[in-house]
A and B are shown apart, each in its own frame.
Chain A
Amino acid sequence: MTSIAFPVPDSAILARRDAIIQGLAALVPAQCLITSEDERRAFETDALTAYRRMPLAVVLPTSTAEVAAVLAFCKREGVKVVPRGAGTSLAGGAIPQEDAIVLGTSKLNQVLAINYADRTARVQAGITNLAISQAVSPEGFFYAPDPSSQLACTIAGNIAMNSGGAHCLKYGVTTNNLIGVTMVLLDGTVVEIGGDALDSAGYDLLGLITGSEGQLGVFTEATVRILRQAEGARPVLFGFASNELAGECVKALIGAGIIPVALEFMDKPAITICEAFAHAGYPLDVEAMLIVEVEGSDEEIDEALARICAIADRFSPMTVKVSQSEAESAAIWKGRKSAFGAMGRIADYLCMDGTIPTGQLPLVLRRITEICDSHGLKVANIFHAGDGNLHPLVLYDINKPGELEKAEQAGAEILKLCVEVGGCLTGEHGVGIEKRDLMTEQYNPVDLAQQMRVRAVFDPAWLLNPAKVFPLDDRKPAAGWPETGAQSTRKTVAA
């Protein structure tokens, strides 16, 4: 019923399921190994719930050593491994396959050390994103990347997907805030990449593994930078008569040297749906809305908001609502933050994640509406306007035969549009299975072959999260592809 292909399960592995489970049972405590069908069901999908596959078994290790033992075993036995944080991937990055085990980090959830003088925190990688901020908030610190799922999602998953959030215009995404990782390679070797300094020796392996979607290894510990919270933060809400005017306003703000901590855009359908759900006091007579937030002391915020309002005034805003209090700030954010929940109440939806050059915004919004109209579907647009990261929510009804396929088709057309105007397929959700077959839109075979050669350094046999990111049928480019892995063709390189 659904259109994304999964590889045919390896029948030899399925036939050996009992022996494989027996092997795993020898490596981890009994409560860390999940084999019953009922309990495995909780792991058969992630936040891309239209797809599900029952894994062979689920292992939830309690230490780096156990992760190493499990991976070494799986490599030896040729068993595929799908790493999993909290399973909040919207791109299907953590969806298993029948001939794979799920290796989850959820039991590795402790803060190991906090160093306020160096502004770093060392954590186990299965800790939730929000738990890090909570651990350091008594001292006034926080961990900056804040994906919407931060209550549930793990740092391991954040590293794998290079997660962002609403505040990355100012603070960057995961790759800009991560300085060290303990990673287990497929053969069970434990490596320390980076440390607690701001850079590391040799090639930037930390940069490479961030956003690698579980294909290069499994993260068990991480060192992240923590930052001191601003003294305060307050947003202003603007309503405009058109998407174009809102887009021009964003351009003018950035042109004036203003980098707010958040700059969020919502179009009319998104405003209407969120307002009906959250009663945030959003204007219902406008076509587009911007939420602009700034940080600092009260006086700094007043001054910065005054400058922002003066610039916005040039674009004839129909609504200007400057937050005067914490309660008003919370109300302004309430609608935006509940957007996904609000959508979910009225329809099923696919949340897209393309990034575009911000100058293309009015054009792209027009074309998105046309694309969805042509499929008879509705769409609501929510958008990190400062960095061009779009989240069109394509609404559909799962109970109507064929609607999901239509929504997927519309989504694919939207992502192709993002690439066509100079952007990319995914800004912060990752490729997963969802965008895997669109990779050829953004990259040519040479680009993909280079990425796959690097991937092969870590996993020549395609055992780690193998059905993700790279189109299934393009995996062995003819020229120079190692037959049995990078090692076999290694030559002595002249010194």
Chain B
Amino acid sequence: MVTHRPANEQEAAAVIAAASGQRTPLGVTGGGTKAAAGRPVTHAATLSSKGLTGITLYEPAELVIAARAGTSLAEVERTLAANGQELSFEPPDLRPLLGTEGEPTVGGLSAANLSGPRRIMAGACRDSLIGVRAINGRGEIVKSGGRVMKNVTGLDLVKLLAGSWGTLAFLTEVTFKVLPQPERRATLVLHGLDDERAIAALSAALGSPFEVSGAAHLPAVDGRNARTLLRTEGFAFSVDYRLKSLQALLKPFGGGEVLDDVAGAALWRDVRDVAPFMRSGDAVWRISTAPSRGAGIAAALSRSLDCRLIYDWGGGLIWVSVPAEGDAGAAAIRAVVTTPGDHATLLRAPAAIRATVVVFHPIAAPLMRLSQDIKQAFDPEGIFEPGRMYDGV
């Protein structure tokens, strides 16, 4: 299979224009670390952003960084860290989970709109993404957004491209707003709560003024007690105060124990990367719901499936691990995740299963029509990753 690796935007535009002329489907890839997510797609050629690298703008005092799409996430994070800053949405590293190698890129991260535990406080990847350059399916270079964080000039195509998994346009450059790294991060752990009590504790903490930046629950498994995690961060004096306040607030749930900072950081990395499900060969689903429905969904799933669960985002994000057999629990999960707006995505499964089940959550007919027309508005010949998210999109 041909892999095109353009060295600049113009070369990429030429490749796309040619593919459009011949209606040749293109796979779109950065580091290839998320290639095994989504519906399996066959295409004659692949378009890689690996030749488009380099940080193009970094102004620490303006809290903004821009990089070409093929720049490694690691390089961006290193550059920010050298100035005491970071991407606030806590980008996950899903390589171990997805069993892939290579370097995640900022383009791939944006196309997948992946966000870690801090999403509850600092927003998602799509909230930090303030500007893009991209090439549409006609081979035209299009820009949207910019380098300033308040911008309502014209339609916000940035949001559309975030999380579009390469199906609308080929990203060539992304611009993020960034935040200072906190002086200290600290973690409080509550022991032995069942799912419902755990989510109640997380809700109590998130509804407090104590600026919780992480709220996760790891249910009991294999003889290990359940752990409910809360994180707060900021200036050291604030963190001390908030930890004490949270412990007092959470007395009815056991008050909790403060972890040492290193152990706490490791636990949050595990939650971010869904580490507990890394090594098994199971299929992994990602369910998004409101926290108050989380425990109910989990209980219903546990009745019909042999599954394990992890909760993040205060209970609103549920990772589900099920045996990679049959439909990998698709029917059972679709039967349980039914509230409009809630959704379940099969993130990890053998290609054979992803080819036969609906990977991304079905969307209502009128929204599907809009999505198809939006696809058409960017990519009239349907060359970018056709069908990776939905049939016809």
Query: Chain A residues in contact with chain B, CB under 8 A?
Result: 115-120, 140-141, 161-162, 164, 168, 172-173, 175-176, 180, 185, 189, 191-208, 210-212, 228-231, 251, 254-259, 296-297, 299-300, 303-304, 307, 355-359, 384, 387-389, 422-431, 435, 439, 442-443, 446-448, 450-451, 453-458, 469, 479-480, 486-487, 489-495
Residue B95 interfacial (CB < 8 Å): no
Residue B356 interfacial (CB < 8 Å): no
Most buried by B among A118, A161, A194, A455: A118
Bitwise, B142-164 to A at CB < 8 A (1) or not (0) is: 11101111111111111110111
A-B contacts, 23 listed (Cβ < 8 Å): A176-B123, A194-B341, A198-B313, A201-B362, A202-B360, A203-B168, A203-B393, A204-B162, A205-B371, A207-B162, A208-B160, A212-B156, A228-B207, A303-B235, A303-B237, A303-B238, A304-B238, A388-B148, A389-B148, A443-B154, A446-B140, A487-B373, A494-B386
Chain B residues numbered 341-393 whose CB sits less than 8 Å from any CB in chain A: 341-343, 345, 360-364, 366-368, 370-378, 380-382, 386-387, 389-393
Q: Which residues of A contact B390 (CB under 8 A)?
A: 202
Q: Which residues of A contact B158 (CB under 8 A)?
A: 207
Tell me whether A439 and B124 are in contact (CB under 8 A). Answer: no
Among B136, B237, B290, the residue within 8 A (CB) of A115 is B290
Q: Which residues of A contact B389 (CB under 8 A)?
A: 202
Q: Which residues of A contact B8 (CB under 8 A)?
A: none
Most buried by A among B59, B151, B203, B378: B151
What residue of chain B has the Cβ atom nearest to residue A490's Cβ?
B376
Q: What distance in Å separates the Cβ of A116 from its nearest Cβ neighbour in chain B?
A: 6
Main secondary structure of the interface of A (DSSP, over half): loop
Tell me whether B164 and A203 are in contact (CB under 8 A). Answer: yes
* Total CB contacts across the A-B interface at under 8 A: 296
Tell me whether B142 and A447 are in contact (CB under 8 A). Answer: yes
Tell me whether B148 and A486 are in contact (CB under 8 A). Answer: no
Q: What distance in Å separates the Cβ of A270 from its nearest Cβ neighbour in chain B?
A: 19
Q: Which residues of B contact A450 (CB under 8 A)?
A: 136, 140, 142, 144, 157, 377-378
Among A116, A299, A387, A451, the residue within 8 A (CB) of B237 is A299
Bitwise, B286-315 to A at CB < 8 A (1) or not (0) is: 001111100000000000000000000100
Among A192, A207, A258, the residue within 8 A (CB) of B126 is A207
Tell me whether A299 and B241 are in contact (CB under 8 A). Answer: yes
Most buried by B among A180, A258, A426, A457: A457
Q: Which residues of B contact A189 (CB under 8 A)?
A: 366
A228 CA to B119 CA, complexed, in Å? 16
A117 CA to B290 CA, complexed, in Å? 9
Q: Which residues of B contact A424 (CB under 8 A)?
A: 146, 148, 151, 153
Q: Which residues of B contact A489 (CB under 8 A)?
A: 376, 380
Tell me whether A495 and B376 are in contact (CB under 8 A). Answer: no
Tell me whether A197 and B146 are in contact (CB under 8 A). Answer: no
Q: What distance in Å separates the Cβ of B88 from its nearest Cβ neighbour in chain A?
A: 10
A326 CA to B372 CA, complexed, in Å? 54
Residue B84 interfacial (CB < 8 Å): yes
Tell me whether B392 and A195 are in contact (CB under 8 A). Answer: no
Q: Which residues of A contact B386 (CB under 8 A)?
A: 493-495
Q: Which residues of A contact B182 (CB under 8 A)?
A: 257
Tell me whether B363 and A201 are in contact (CB under 8 A). Answer: yes
